[in-house]
């Protein structure tokens, strides 16, 4: 790109001399030793202006190939991913010298849209906008016009670059483009033509380039980049409208994506919605870290969220996107909550609207002190609360503390106006016979406690993996291990009855459906248990779901049996949630049931990290992972 063209590209945003001076000074600013570390780029080498899209179960990225002075690349490549984490290069999908007759270089800022069973690839080429068509998202793409779709001569007071096509719910498609000004026009049904008389100018204040449009809950969001791409201040703003043609009203909280710490020049973005969820991901470029600039940029992904009023929240450029669909066909919708080691994940909702999480902390198999909590407003961003209780003060703990035994499988519950924590201690003599479980009550009603041991002088349960269940009439039950249950006293100071051991009415003698620990627990010829550990209970539509962990063909899974009476009889068990053994359940504000996850077998999507996934119940009441 020659100097005149570079100056033309920059002057719409701000005076060139001032801009380059600020960019130079921004690059000189020293990074703080306390600055967070941004996640790595999702693509190797230099790529900019990424357009992200999803077709079927696959995500695609279409970027500008960067790393050339003057942005002189001459082809486009495509990348694909099933989980937004691992990206595969699909190869060159459009090569200007080979595929175009009217342009040879300056291949910039592509976009893609699907309609009529075809894929339409829009791109900038020598300050014109072209379109190519293919039968697949990965091409090969062919030029159906033999000329630009939008010629730079049509609108001489702006650059005809940065196309984006939005397809509305009724199938209508709209082309947005422009640097310096933002234009929009409704495309004809063929997706490769329009009426020039219908072109509108919808330029919002602060607009420079890189327009993108999405629709959520009936609101149209026009997004764009402000400043020049070589400026560290390069950022993303947005405005809203009730029409794809505007007028658009600028948001009060702009910019929503901008530089921070080591991240400079964050902009020229696109957004994709995760199918079936109100979850969004923003793709954008930043200066290469380290030593990048406006010609050496890299592609990044971050979560993008909306608040309750529909405003786009500030994007955290240090937050990576969690991998998606890693559960495959067995656990669709599974997502990791954080990368902190944790087993036996438990989550509950507090009266303050926050979500609270606990579980077995590392080291899992030796002394780990006690119980930690995390909290989150949205089941996505988690803040550590640290230890809220350490075992050892209750008299019955003494032999466990002397042997430096770990604390296992804490669960958090909010019942009767306060928080409760169940906990387990494995046998101090190395056998299950001396294992025990207890119950803690928050004396303040707060999740951070302090907590007191409800029964400090003796264990409440004679095995591990304790839980609580509150029935519709307010009666609370203490549960543990593999199906043991006892009603609690009304004040929850202890058990009101001897425990019962819940069994199934139909045994499962298949040896591939049992842990090798089962003969020692139940007897060699006993097959009427739901599982061998990790008991939890929920009630849905008048039916009790007794859930335990069990091995099915080496999968550490959640097994389920059901009954219409809490004490049974319980139905034949089945493998309800593969790889999700020792889980708990909760329901969100929309009535959606969720299961927790941590992963304990070698074939699990991941091991010993907390996750969640949605579940559903079929017409017969059978529990299963929710399908997209």
**Catalytic residue positions, numbered:** 49, 209
Which residue carries 């790595």 as its tokens? 40
β-pairing, 219-226 with 235-241? antiparallel
Contact at 8 Å (CB) between 527 and 541? no
- Token pair listed for 566: 């809490």
Contact at 8 Å (CB) between 215 and 166? yes
List, in sequence order, every residue forming a beta bridge with 408; answer none if it has no partner.
Answer: 424
Nearest to 407 by CA among 463, 340, 338, 359: 359
Nearest to 327 by CA among 89, 549, 605, 135: 605
Cα separation of 79 and 61, whole Å? Answer: 5
Cα–Cα separations (whole angstroms), residue 456 to 247, 391, 417, 428, 452:
67, 11, 22, 17, 8
Contact at 8 Å (CB) between 251 and 269? no
Sheet holding 466-470, edge to edge: 466-470, 476-480, 484-487, 500-501
- Token pair listed for 155: 């609108």
What string of DSSP letters covers 104-143? -S-EEEEEEEEETTEEEEEEEETTEEEEEEESSTT---B-
Cα separation of 387 and 150, whole Å? Answer: 61
Cα separation of 232 and 252, whole Å? Answer: 22
Question: Which residues, in sequence order, are CB contacts of 44 under 8 Å at separation 6+?
Answer: none
Contact at 8 Å (CB) between 331 and 598? no
Helical packing angle, 3-11 and 16-28, nearest 10°: 90
What string of DSSP letters covers 33-46? TTPPPPPPPSSSS-
132: enclosing H helix or E strand: strand 128-134
Kindly report the backbone phi and psi dihedral angles of residue 17, in degrees, each rounded to the nearest multiple of 5, phi listed first: -60, -45
Reported as half-sphere exposure (CB side, CA atoms, 13 A), residue 277 has a value of 21
Question: Which residues, in sequence order, are CB contacts of 398 under 8 Å at separation 6+?
Answer: none
Q: SS3 for 600?
A: coil
Contact at 8 Å (CB) between 114 and 166? no
DSSP summary character for residue 133: E
Contact at 8 Å (CB) between 267 and 257? yes
Q: SS3 for 522?
A: helix
Contact at 8 Å (CB) between 537 and 545? yes
Cα separation of 223 and 304, whole Å? Answer: 13
Nearest to 411 by CA among 362, 352, 478, 363: 478
């Amino acid at each position: 790109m020659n100097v005149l063209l570079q100056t033309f590209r920059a002057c719409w945003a701000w005076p060139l001399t001032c801009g380059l001076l600020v960019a130079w000074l921004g690059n000189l600013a020293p990074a703080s030793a306390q600055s967070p570390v941004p996640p790595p780029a999702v693509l190797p080498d230099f790529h900019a202006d990424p357009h992200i899209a999803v077709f079927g179960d696959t995500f695609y990225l279409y970027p500008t190939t960067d790393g050339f002075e003057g942005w002189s690349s001459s082809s486009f490549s495509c990348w694909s991913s099933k989980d937004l984490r691992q990206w595969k290069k699909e190869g060159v999908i459009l090569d200007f010298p080979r595929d175009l007759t009217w342009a040879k270089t300056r291949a910039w800022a592509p976009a893609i849209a699907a309609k009529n069973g075809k894929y339409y690839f829009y791109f900038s080429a020598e300050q014109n906008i072209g379109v190519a068509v293919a039968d697949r998202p990965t091409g090969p793409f062919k030029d159906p016009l033999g000329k630009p779709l939008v010629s730079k001569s049509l609108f001489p007071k702006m650059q005809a670059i940065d196309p984006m096509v939005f397809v509305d719910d009724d199938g209508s498609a709209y082309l947005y483009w422009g640097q310096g000004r933002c234009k929009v026009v409704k495309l004809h049904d063929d997706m490769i033509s329009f009426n020039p008389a219908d072109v509108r100018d919808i330029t919002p204040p602060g607009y420079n380039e890189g327009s993108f449009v999405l629709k959520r809950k009936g609101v149209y969001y026009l997004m764009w980049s402000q400043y020049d791409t070589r400026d560290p201040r390069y950022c993303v703003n947005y405005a809203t409208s009730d029409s794809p043609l505007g007028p658009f009203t600028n948001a009060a909280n702009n910019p929503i994506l901008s530089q921070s710490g080591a991240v400079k020049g964050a902009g020229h973005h696109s957004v994709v919605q995760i199918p079936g969820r109100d979850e969004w991901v923003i793709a954008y470029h930043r200066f290469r870290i380290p030593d990048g600039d406006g010609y050496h940029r890299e592609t990044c992904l971050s979560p993008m969220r909306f608040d309750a009023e529909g405003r786009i929240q500030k994007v955290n450029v240090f937050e990576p996107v969690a991998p998606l669909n890693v559960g495959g066909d067995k656990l669709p919708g599974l997502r990791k909550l954080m990368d902190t080691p944790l087993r036996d994940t438990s989550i509950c909702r507090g009266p303050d609207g926050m979500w609270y999480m606990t579980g077995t902390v590392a080291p899992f198999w030796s002394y780990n002190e006690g119980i930690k909590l995390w909290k989150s407003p949205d089941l996505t961003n988690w803040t550590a609360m640290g230890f809220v209780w350490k075992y050892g003060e209750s008299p019955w703990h003494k032999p466990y503390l002397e042997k430096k035994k770990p604390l296992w499988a804490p669960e958090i519950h909010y019942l009767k106006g306060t928080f409760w924590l169940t906990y387990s201690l494995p046998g101090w003599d190395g056998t299950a016979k001396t294992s025990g479980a207890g119950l803690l009550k928050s004396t303040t009603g707060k999740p951070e406690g302090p907590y007191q041991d409800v029964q400090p002088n003796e264990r409440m349960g004679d095995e591990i993996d304790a839980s609580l269940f509150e029935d519709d009439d307010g009666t609370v039950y203490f549960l543990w291990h593999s199906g043991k249950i006892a009603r609690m006293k009304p004040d929850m100071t202890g058990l009101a009855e001897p425990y019962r051991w819940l069994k199934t009415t139909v045994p499962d003698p298949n040896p591939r459906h049992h842990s090798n620990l089962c003969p020692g627990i139940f007897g060699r010829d006993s097959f009427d248990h739901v599982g061998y550990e990790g008991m939890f209970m929920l009630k849905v539509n008048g039916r009790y779901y007794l859930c335990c962990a069990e091995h099915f063909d080496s999968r550490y899974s959640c097994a389920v049996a059901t009954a219409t009476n809490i004490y049974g009889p319980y139905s034949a068990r089945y493998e309800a949630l593969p790889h999700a053994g020792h889980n708990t359940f909760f329901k969100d504000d929309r009535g959606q049931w969720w299961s927790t996850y941590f992963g304990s077998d070698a074939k699990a999507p991941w091991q010993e990290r907390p996750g969640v996934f949605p579940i559903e119940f079929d017409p017969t009441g059978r529990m299963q992972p929710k399908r997209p």
